[in-house]
Amino acid sequence: MTDVPVLQVDEISVSLSGRQVLDHVSFDVRGGEFTGLIGSNGVGKTTLLRTILGLQRPDSGRVLVSGMPLSPRSRSLGYVPQKIVVDPDVPMRARDFVALGLDAHRYGLTRRSPQQRELVERILHDVDAERFADNRLGSLSGGEQQRVFIAHALISQPKLLLLDEPLANLDPRSVQDIVALLHRVARGYGVAILLSAHEMNALLPVMDRIVYLTGGRAASGTTDEVIRSDVLSQLYGHHVDVLQLHGRVLVVAEPGQDNQDIPQHPTLTLG
């Protein structure tokens, strides 16, 4: 681990169709850290991840990866996008899709070396996907596909893995499994993780840091530093309370405030 952050997001502003989506957003991610990018639907999580990847040009600000501007075809970043639609009829095994991650920076077919084949097997094992590795990718459940997508992104051994809402559409048990898996592989592979989600509670046990996004602006730090009434009230521009209940966190606005931008939480059962 070096002192240079693996990712520096420095005063990034982005407008889309004339509307400012991100307004001077700044934060760092250090080697091996797990960072949650938390915000409601439409606050700009995907836009921020696409800007980090160089797929969206910012109006101003800069992104540095290991202290350098991102170069085309950089192997430093792995990416699991929000929307991956797999036709069930595509004749590709999960194993083949993972191996394709080795060719992310090349065109054409490549003959696999024994070392590469070994790497595919190791990663399938590490994400616990061996049992369905020979099934068609499109026939797998959402949770199984998510493991394969993570393996696909990990196999080029990036320094930073960006995951856009990988927990959406999973049941609570699968959410727990995928979070635990990501925590384990982040430690095992020494890869930093930046994961977007609209709900933070499942991530509280594993997050080293949080980037909380609302109204185009971000607050970042440890969860203790950010998930506080004073910090979030300033970010929202109106008073919000942070309630802690059985190890879960709930951000609530006073009645009459526009609550639309507050990430939705599952119903809490009291008593």
Return all residues near 21 (Cβ < 8 A) that are at least 6 apart.
14, 15, 44, 47, 216
12 is a contact residue toward ligand ATP (CB under 6 A) = no
Strands 192-197 and 160-164: parallel
The binder of ligand ATP chosen from 39, 78, 143, 263 (CB under 6 A) = 39
Query: Which of 38, 43, 194, 235 forms a contact with ligand ATP (CB under 6 A)?
Result: 43
Given candidates 6, 36, 46, 149, which one binds ligand ATP under the rule CB under 6 A?
46
Work out whether 45 is an interface residue with ligand ATP (CB under 6 A): yes
Query: What residues have CB less than 8 Å from 183, skipping those under 6 apart?
Result: 34, 206
Largest interatomic CA distance in the chain? 63
22: number of Cβ within 10 Å? 26
46, 51, 220, 223: which one binds Mg ion (CB under 5 A): 46
> What CA–CA distance (Å, rounded) separates 252 from 242?
7
Question: Taking CB within 5 to 8 Å according to partner kind, which of Mg ion, ligand ATP, none is near residue 37?
Answer: none
Cα 37 to Cα 136: distance, rounded to the nearest angstrom: 31
φ and ψ of 196, to 5 deg: -90, 145
Q: Give every CB contact of residue 93 below 8 A, 6+ residues apart in sequence.
A: 133, 134, 135, 136, 137
Please report whether residue 115 would count as binding ligand ATP according to CB under 6 A. no
Identify what 188 binds: Mg ion, ligand ATP, none; CB under 5 to 8 Å per kind. Answer: none
Distance of closest approach, residue 187 Cβ to ligand ATP, in angstroms:
27
Closer to ligand ATP by Cβ: residue 41 or 110: 41
Which residues in the 67-96 window bind Mg ion by CB under 5 A? Answer: 82
- Smallest gap from Cβ 210 to ligand ATP, in A, equals 15
Q: Could you say which of 11, 41, 55, 188 contacts ligand ATP (CB under 6 A)?
A: 41
| Residue 122 phi, psi (nearest 5) | -65, -45
Per CB under 6 A, contacts with ligand ATP among 50-69 are: none
d(CA 93, CA 75): 24
What residues numbered 162-221 form the site for ligand ATP, per CB under 6 A? 165, 198
Residues that bind ligand ATP (CB under 6 A): 16-17, 21, 39, 41-47, 82, 165, 198
Residues that bind Mg ion (CB under 5 A): 45-46, 82
